[in-house]
Amino acid sequence: MRILIWHLHGSWLTSFVQGPHDYLVPVTPERGPFGLGRARTWDWPAGVVEVSPSQLRDADVDLVVLQRPEELSLTTAWLGRTPGRDVPAVYLEHDTPPVPGARHPMAGVENLTIVHVTHFNALFWDCGASPVTVIEHGVIDPGATWTGELDHAAVVINDPLTRGRTVGADLLPGFAAQAPLDVFGMRVDGLARAQRLDAGRVREYEDLPQAQLHTELPRRRVYVHPFRWTSLGLALIEAMFLAMPVVVLATTEAPRAVPPEAGAISADLSELHAAVRRFIGDPAAAREAGLAAREAAGQRYGLKRFLRDWDQLLQEVSA
């Protein structure tokens, strides 16, 4: 099958393109948000092919995976075919709604299945009478490489300075008071300065390639997930696969993903702070929790299940 899909969420797409299909990814000269092309920080297989808007007009496309409302009209303009009418299509929703019960922008679009990545998202988005399904995340197993040699906590957050409370950026000083905190992600430079934190307590690691991130994270003793209102982060699942103990805010999909034995999950910050201190001070307990986290991640978020679920949906929609 030849699938048209935009490069939006690189980590998610890295798993998706491991399937047996050909994946056409739009590219524009400026590599803007609707023309990023192939990833530069993830290793994608040869089946992922860059196509320009002009090349798409003559491209043989079997199915379109939409991820943003604008892609509906872009597909019509670039491909010359209307999704859901002239070419089979699904709409992949990565995010939680801005407020509970918000009407989904694709609700009611004819012949368009809305795919959610978590059951929480499917519950909270109002998709009207549109067909809805859930395909939970799948992650390429990076291996159980946790060493915990550094008595630091790690967190992965993109855009903490602009996303603020949504991603729990305001909670980072509290965690940094329990242990040195290493912050990884896109546009994290300047975070410690903006929050007036001691540079010795918070260190920033700007947009590392995935392979390097997977090398650095498991050197830290514990992984912290402070997100208040966001879809289930792939970085959390990856940390669990790495066999890291996880300390997680009990919001959105996290209670389904993280069993208590994998570390700590709570809406009580004092409990989460205590868990960070415990794992920093007890490497044996951290290792035990990390192995439980890895077991839980493997049971629910394996790549084979993910690709199987997607293949089944793609076949149903294309039929």
- pLDDT above 90 (res 43): no
Residue 188 lies in a domain: yes
Region label for 32, one of left (φ > 0), alpha (ψ between -120 and 50) or beta (otherwise): beta
- Contact (Cβ atoms closer than 8 angstroms) between residue 126 and residue 101: yes
Q: In the structure encoding, which two tokens stand for residue 143, read together? A: 């291996």
Q: pLDDT band for position 101 (50/70/90)?
A: confident
- Domain ranges, residue 13: 2-137+302-318
Q: pLDDT band for position 100 (50/70/90)?
A: confident
pLDDT digits (tens, 9 = 90+) for 142-172: 999 999 999 999 999 999 999 999 999 999 9
- Asked whether residue 128 falls in the same domain as residue 8, the answer is yes
- Asked whether residue 102 falls in the same domain as residue 155, the answer is no
Residue 145 lies in a domain: no
DSSP characters over the chain: -EEEE----HHHHHHHTTSSSEEEEEB-TT--TT-B-S-SSS---TTEEEE-HHHHTT---SEEEE-STHHHHHHHHHHSS-BTTTB-EEEEE-S--SSTTPBPTTTT-TT-EEEESSHHHHHHSB-TTS-EEE----B----S-----EEEEEEE-SSHHHHGGGGTGGGHHHHHTTS-EEEEETT-TTHHHHTT--TTTEEEEES--HHHHHHHGGGEEEEEE--SSSSPPHHHHHHHHTT--EEEE--TTHHHH--GGGEEEES-HHHHHHHHHHHHH-HHHHHHHHHHHHHHHHHHSBHHHHHHHHHHHHHHHH-
Number of domains in the chain: 2
- How far apart are the C-alpha atoms of 145 and 183, rounded to whole Å? 19
pLDDT of residue 182: 97
Residue 143 lies in a domain: no
Residue 271 lies in a domain: yes
Between 319 and 265, the higher pLDDT residue: 265
- Asked whether residue 159 falls in the same domain as residue 129, the answer is no
- The residues that bridge with 183 in the sheet, in sequence order, are 155, 204
User: The domain that contains 131 carries what CATH number?
Assistant: 3.40.50.2000
- Asked whether residue 12 falls in the same domain as residue 106, the answer is yes
- The residues that bridge with 182 in the sheet, in sequence order, are 154, 203
Sheet strands side by side (includes 150-156): 202-206, 181-185, 150-156, 220-225, 246-249, 263-266
- Asked whether residue 23 falls in the same domain as residue 13, the answer is yes
Terminal C-alpha separation, the chain? 12
In terms of pTM, does the model score above 0.85? yes
- How far apart are the C-alpha atoms of 302 and 293, rounded to whole Å? 13
Distances, alpha carbon 158 to alpha carbons 23, 161, 207, in Å: 26, 9, 9
Q: pLDDT band for position 197 (50/70/90)?
A: confident
Mean model confidence pLDDT for the chain: 95
